[in-house]
Amino acid sequence: MDVYNIHEAKAQFSRLMRSVEGGQEVVIARDGVVIARIVPETRSVGIKLGRDVGAGSISADFDAPLDDFAEYTKE
């Protein structure tokens, strides 16, 4: 665990984030007092594509006028 003051953390932010991605914890301090810990994300992040395949259906006449509105659509 490395401790960085705010100025160092701002100047090296990209490098610190790469360290966090690699599993390392980064601690940020102001005047020697810890104010934040940046830790790697542990839960799965992202979208699982196709997870709802087959969960719904669309009828062949989905765009046909509804019976309630048929009188308004006649020409």
Q: What is the CATH number of the domain that holds 23?
A: 3.40.1620.10
* DSSP notation for 23-67: T--EEEEETTEEEEEE----S--S--TTTTTTS----TTTTSPPG
- pLDDT given at position 72: 66
8 domain residue, yes or no: yes
Number of folded domains in the chain? Answer: 1
Q: What confidence category does residue 70 fall into, taking pLDDT thresholds of 50, 70 and 90?
A: low
pLDDT tens digits for range 34-57: 999 999 988 766 778 888 888 888
